[in-house]
Structure 1
Amino acid sequence: MSHERNLIRKASHSETWYTSSERELRSQLDNWLTRAGESVYGPARAIIAPHAGYQYCGSCAAHAYKEINPTIVKRIFILGPSHHVRLSGCALSPAKSCKTPLGDLKVDRATYETLYKTGAFEEMSLETDEDEHSIEMHLPFIAKVMEGHDFQIVPVMVGSLSSEKEALYGRLFAPFLSNEENFFVISSDFCHWGSRFKYQYYDPSWGEIYQSIQKLDEMGMKIIEKTSPKEFTSYLKDYGNTICGRHPIGVLLNAIHHLNTNENHNITIKFLNYAQSTRCVYKQDSSVSYAAASIRFNR
């Protein structure tokens, strides 16, 4: 298997998920980042941010991206869930660079080779990579906040992992997370509610449907802030909340748990913003939730 092919991953979702116009996209990102204000929980070592169409989640994602300090970061890992292919582990891209309307981002092939040597990673096809939006949606934001700085990216597609595999990948990524020159983007939307998602959990004691959805998401967000992989797994089993990036989040929580427990780090998580695509009132309604969080190392 060759890991050194001269391939560029195209921005295949730019026409439907975000504008392909450099000028318009730059203006949108500038506006969202400005409105998000100054960093309040940084400098972040990692973020959790959504990956839906920018018209729905761009403003929310900006609250996470404002926490990055681009002068420190040399390498950005992007952990995104697989929406289209069955994958029981994690897969890496064959591409050497990823195209965005704001410029191409170079893939760190040396780090890829280090990951391949663990025997825990496989290579996806370029077609599979381009079909998946969970990583691509973060690339323009990364290009914008890192503009003018020398860095590379490490895209990782995360499959439907067991709790044991989440722990395994958490341990593998922990040494990278502990290095301040590395930054992690955890790609995830939150509750997908409605018949089209086959999920309509509703507790009337929490108010209207959209209020019940928010309460459900906030329960998950508070558990994530506790940095407990076991509690997050239990929450998902109890409520079945359709958090599409639950496995990348699980990997992150396991990496943090490993570092906090075994290396005496003090890593904390804080959610900074929450939004819903629609306020559901009737059972025929549907919505997707978005949340932005910052993960920092405390001295």
Structure 2
Amino acid sequence: MEIRRAQFMGSWYPASENECREKIEDFIADLPQVKPEVKRIGGIVPHAGWVYSGKIAAQVIAALKKNNPPDVIAVFGMHLGPRHPNFIMASGAWETPFGPLAIAEDVAGQLAKGFRFEIESPDRHVQDNTIELQLPFIKYFFPDVRIVPIGVPPVSRSLAIGEAFVDIARHFGYTAKVIGSTDLTHYGANYGFSPVGSGPKAIQWVKNENDKKLVERIEAMDPQGVIDQAMENSNACCGGAAAAAMAAAKSLGAEKSQILAYSTSCDVVPNESFVGYVGAIF
């Protein structure tokens, strides 16, 4: 089996199994309670280096473990604009410190027949942190699961891809869950986005206005609203991924969502340029 080598292991997250295990166990030492009406079918996770947002991502993926383990997990991500194509890794496996995560080739293959994708492989792919940063968590909590890594742009047709993943998984008789990877507002000179200046007022604007608009669409289970917000207010770097994951979760039966955590990189390292992070469960 060909293996896609991890590109951020040893920099954005630990390279060794033991170090990863220690970090994850620390991240989940104080798990937030999930409301009974939330079915734990899917979630939204951030994808910065683990020092910034690893705890949020780990807690969301840990929350998914509470129900029966899935056969396959779709992981939506990638920094794509509305004119970008769809991407899918359709074969092989992806390296993690806990061992390789196999691709659900049957599901990925069927999905690629129904939509136009750029097909990635272990030796031909775009460098991407949005999906890779989640894979050690997935392998740790679901050691036998297979994955379908998918990149979709922030456009309405991406919702159909999320829904089709669910239909195909059901066709094969698989239980499925879904993860959407996105960070929120990228604010400051480093990102060329400073509509309200700098300092404390900028942090409060991001938290209480710009990111809040996106978070409210997640809470409302409104995939199209997530896309609209991402395009109008630059408050999600992977709006298509988040929206497609939400559409898939709704097809799987999710009716409610819960925000498990929200923070910014300023909570770890204060800086004039910073990023927002949210963790949600469906």
Q: TM-score range by the shorter chain?
A: 0.7 to 0.9
1:26 to 1:229, Cα distance in 2 relative to 1, 3 A:
closer
1:128 to 1:209, Cα distance in 2 relative to 1, 3 A:
farther
Q: Report the TM-score, using the length of structure 2 for normalisation.
A: 0.85
2:269 paired with 1:274: no
Distance 1:285 1:161 in 2: 27
TM-align CA RMSD: 3.0
1:117-172 CA-partner distances (Å, limit 9, x unpaired): 2143330354553611111100000011114xx321111122x3433x22432442
Out of 44, 53, 57, the position equivalent to 2:53 is: 57
2:60 paired with 1:72: no
Out of 6, 9, 23, the position equivalent to 1:11 is: 6
2:240 paired with 1:247: yes
Matches of residues 204-283 of structure 1 in structure 2 within 5 Å? 208-215=201-208, 216-241=210-235, 243-255=236-248, 259=251, 265=253, 267-278=255-266
1:21 to 1:236, Cα distance in 2 relative to 1, 3 A:
closer
Distance 1:177 1:269 in 2: 22
Residue in 2 aligned with 1:197?
191
Out of 29, 42, 64, the position equivalent to 1:46 is: 42
Distance 2:222 2:197 in 1: 25
Is the CA contact (8 Å cut-off) linking 1:43 and 1:67 kept in structure 2? Answer: no
Give the Å deviation of 1:71. 3.4
Matches of residues 87-236 of structure 1 in structure 2 within 5 Å? 88-93=84-89, 95-124=91-120, 126=122, 129=125, 131-147=127-143, 150-158=144-152, 160-163=153-156, 165-175=157-167, 181-202=175-196, 208-215=201-208, 216-236=210-230
1:29-52 CA-partner distances (Å, limit 9, x unpaired): 011012225544654111100111
1:74-107 CA-partner distances (Å, limit 9, x unpaired): 1111111236x99733212254111111111111
Distance 2:84 2:16 in 1: 36
Residue in 2 aligned with 1:291?
278
Which residue identity does 2:217 align to in structure 1?
A: I
SS in 2 for 1:267: coil
SS in 2 for 1:20: coil
Distance 2:264 2:40 in 1: 24
1:214 to 1:127, Cα distance in 2 relative to 1, 3 A:
farther
Give the Å deviation of 1:222. 1.0
Residue in 2 aligned with 1:35?
30
SS in 2 for 1:268: coil
Q: Report the TM-score, using the length of structure 1 for normalisation.
A: 0.81
Distance 2:266 2:124 in 1: 30
Is the CA contact (8 Å cut-off) linking 1:279 and 1:287 kept in structure 2? Answer: no
Is the CA contact (8 Å cut-off) linking 2:154 and 2:227 kept in structure 1? Answer: no
Distance 1:50 1:211 in 2: 20
Residue in 2 aligned with 1:3?
none
- Runs (5+) with no aligned partner, structure 2: none
1:45-80 CA-partner distances (Å, limit 9, x unpaired): 111001110011111112312211363311111111
Number of residue pairs matched? 275
Distance 2:141 2:73 in 1: 12
